[in-house]
């Protein structure tokens, strides 16, 4: 199958549509990843087909959780080379997207991508997640937070849940060890004002990837003492 067809079928699997304009943005993004990856460490995945499946399609499948389509503002915490934030923004151009990462080289790359593939209403933040969610302009302001491959659920919840407004969602993209992470992280989720609502299984056609979306609803405000000082969540995860 051509890349267009694989991506088109991933989009229709989650109830979204893809056209040539969207497809071209993905292809330009893929080329920028390959070009920049030679000087900045962005990803270990550099083969065209793998970039499309393991990055683009994996991220598009976040919309298996369909209420995310209603979110008007989303923050991607620890976005790295833009995953899942950029694919989300490409397939849902009307969303206000914030991409946050503590590595400035990756932020420079993302600014170039945003400029080259002409994305609007998307901002980048260079910094630690724990520092920005304390600021009133970011705290509990987003309809949703999303994150992939940044930390285990207990740690990640402290980085992400403070950004989400009450009634919104934190969607954590997780691998096969999701059950253990939930066992260890469920109390942290609750302390931070979240409630685990569902685990959605993700399949990527013609691959052996076994992924899960942990769906956390924000049910009450995050206590003011969280997040703790940058680095504390990772050193002493909430139990």
Task: Mark the binding-site residues for S-adenosyl-L-methionine, compressed into ranges.
Answer: 78, 83, 129-130, 148
For the bound state, the minimum distance from the C-beta of residue 50 to ligand SAM, rounded and expressed in Å, comes to: 13
Closest C-alpha to 230, from 160, 145, 163, 159 = 159
17 DSSP assignment: -
* Site for ligand SAM, residues 141 to 180, rule: CB under 6 A: 148-150, 159
Question: Which one among 75, 129, 142, 202 touches ligand SAM, defined by CB under 6 A?
Answer: 129
* Site for ligand SAM, residues 3 to 42, rule: CB under 6 A: none
Contact in structure between 179 and 213 (CB atoms under 8 Å): no
Contact in structure between 51 and 33 (CB atoms under 8 Å): yes
Q: Which residue in the shown chain puts its C-beta closest to ligand SAM?
A: 80
Decide whether 100 or 153 has the Cβ nearer to ligand SAM.
100
**Binding-site residues:** 78, 83, 129-130, 148
78 binds ligand SAM (CB under 6 A): yes
Closest C-alpha to 16, from 64, 76, 54 = 64
- Give the C-alpha separation, 62 to 155, whole Å: 21
- Give the C-alpha separation, 234 to 41, whole Å: 23
How crowded is the C-beta side of 147, counted as CA atoms within 13 Å? 25
For the bound state, the minimum distance from the C-beta of residue 71 to ligand SAM, rounded and expressed in Å, comes to: 18
Q: From residue 86 to residue 105, what is the string marking binding to ligand SAM with x (rule CB under 6 A)?
A: --------------xxxx--
Q: From residue 104 to residue 123, what is the string marking binding to ligand SAM with x (rule CB under 6 A)?
A: --x-----------------
Q: What is the DSSP string of 34-97?
A: HHHTTTS---S--SHHHIIIIIIIHHHGGGGSGGGGG-SEEEEET-TTTTTHHHHHHH-TTSEE
Contact in structure between 79 and 100 (CB atoms under 8 Å): yes
* Stretch in the footprint of ligand SAM (CB under 6 A) among 29-37, 72-80, 90-98, 211-219: 72-80
For the bound state, the minimum distance from the C-beta of residue 84 to ligand SAM, rounded and expressed in Å, comes to: 7
- Contact residues for ligand SAM, defined by CB under 6 A: 78-81, 83, 100-103, 106, 128-130, 148-150, 159
């Amino acid at each position: 199958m051509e890349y267009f067809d694989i991506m088109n079928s991933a989009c229709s699997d989650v109830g979204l549509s893809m056209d040539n304009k969207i497809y071209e943005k993905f292809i330009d993004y893929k080329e920028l990843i390959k070009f920049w990856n030679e000087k900045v460490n962005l990803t270990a995945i550099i083969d065209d087909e793998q970039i499309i499946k393991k990055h683009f399609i994996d991220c598009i499948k976040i919309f298996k959780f369909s209420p995310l389509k209603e979110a008007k503002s989303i923050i991607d915490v620890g976005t790295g080379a833009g995953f899942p934030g950029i694919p989300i923004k490409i397939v849902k151009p009307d969303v206000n997207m914030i991409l946050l990462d503590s590595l400035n080289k990756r932020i420079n790359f993302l600014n170039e991508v945003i400029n080259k593939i002409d994305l609007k209403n998307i901002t980048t933040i260079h910094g630690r997640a724990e520092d920005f969610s304390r600021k009133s302009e970011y705290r509990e302001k987003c309809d949703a937070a999303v994150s992939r491959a940044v930390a285990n659920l207990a740690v990640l919840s402290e980085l992400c849940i403070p950004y989400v407004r009450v009634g919104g969602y934190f969607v954590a993209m997780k691998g096969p060890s999701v059950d253990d992470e939930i066992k260890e992280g469920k109390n942290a989720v609750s302390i931070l004002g979240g409630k685990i609502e569902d685990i959605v299984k993700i399949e990527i056609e013609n691959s052996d990837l076994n992924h899960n979306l942990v769906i956390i609803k924000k049910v009450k405000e995050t206590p003011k003492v969280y997040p703790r000082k940058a680095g504390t969540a990772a050193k002493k995860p909430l139990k």
